[in-house]
Chains A and B, each alone.
Chain A
Amino acid sequence: MSFDESHGSPKRPSMRTPLGRVRNLGAAHSGTSDFWRQRITGVAMTLLMIPALVIIMMLLGRNQVYAAQTLSSIPVAVILLLFIFASAWHMKIGMQVVIEDYVHNEKLKLTAIMLNNFFSVAVALASTYAILKLSSGV
């Protein structure tokens, strides 16, 4: 995000020192929060990987009635909800890093970051809705 006037330009070089520039949480204005959340969600998914794989193994080759019944049990639903929440957040941060690294046009970058947010939230909400619908037995 380069809306900050402090960055300067070739014509009007910034008078701010490098230290002054990284103050106020650095260039992204969010400090290391994304870095930290990337780690939290990564550790969470690593811990949830075995239960998540067991759930998928339980459902292999089974029909929808059995799958719906299994997915609506509380431990299974909670494990999958946690896994989905962690992965949606993790992938949102990861893709944002990729976009920020490779998309240099400011408008295109902001558009891509926005679409990334939409996609990640949509993935999380659609999956959550499906699990809650199964759990409520409607």
Chain B
Amino acid sequence: MLGRNKHQKPPMTARIERPLSPHIQTYRWTLTMALSIVHRATGIALYVGTLLLVWWLVAAASGPAAYAHVQAFSSSIIGRLIVFGYTWALMHHMLSGIRHFVWDLGYGFKANEREALTWGALIGGIALTVLIWIIAYANGGGR
């Protein structure tokens, strides 16, 4: 008991009835709520997706045969879909994270501001993904 006067009354030990936070179904679904979950989901996807990065780098260090396996995978339809999804997850998570930096700095908490930031992350993430893939194809990624 740091510095407490011993003649003082002891703290109340009975449970105090405080309002509880309602569970998630109770709330009206909002964009910022949905995107909060998407931020977390893309983070988890990127976590698993680092295995692709590791595979790519280890294969490059291992030799031509191992590298050819990575290229065969990444140029297959399923491989392209996964890498496309990974690109979107990365771009979305980055922009959504920048949105969090804005909030961390104490800005953008008004209703219209937080909606605008969230739409910006959503649309920006899709736009950057498409842009990256256009550049990639123009750059010979379709080979």
Contacts and interface: CB of A to CB of B under 8 A. Distances in A.
Interface of A: 13, 15, 17, 20, 39, 42-43, 45-46, 49, 53, 57, 60-61, 63-65, 67-68, 71, 80, 84, 87-88, 91, 94-95, 98, 123, 126-127, 129-131, 133-134
A91 B58 CA distance: 20
Contacts, number: 90
B13 interface: yes
A17 B11 contact: yes
A130 B60 contact: yes
Interface of B: 1-2, 10-11, 13, 40, 43-44, 46-47, 50-51, 53-54, 57-61, 63-64, 66-68, 94, 97-98, 100-101, 104, 132, 135-136, 139-143
11 contacts: A15-B1, A15-B11, A15-B13, A60-B140, A61-B140, A71-B61, A95-B43, A95-B44, A95-B47, A126-B57, A126-B58
B67 A64 contact: yes
B141 A49 contact: no
B11 A64 contact: no
Q: Which of B40, B43, B61, B68 has the most CB of A within 10 A?
A: B61
B54 A127 contact: yes
Instruction: Tell me if B's interface is mostly helix, strand, loop or mixed.
Output: helix
8 closest cross-chain pairs (CB), A and B: A64-B67, A61-B143, A60-B141, A130-B61, A130-B57, A64-B64, A61-B140, A133-B61
Contacts of B50: 87-88, 91, 123
Contacts of A131: 57, 61
Contact of B2 (A20, A49, A91, A130): A20
A123 B53 CA distance: 9
B47 A94 contact: yes
Contacts of B63: 64
B101 A134 contact: no
A135 to B, nearest CB: 10
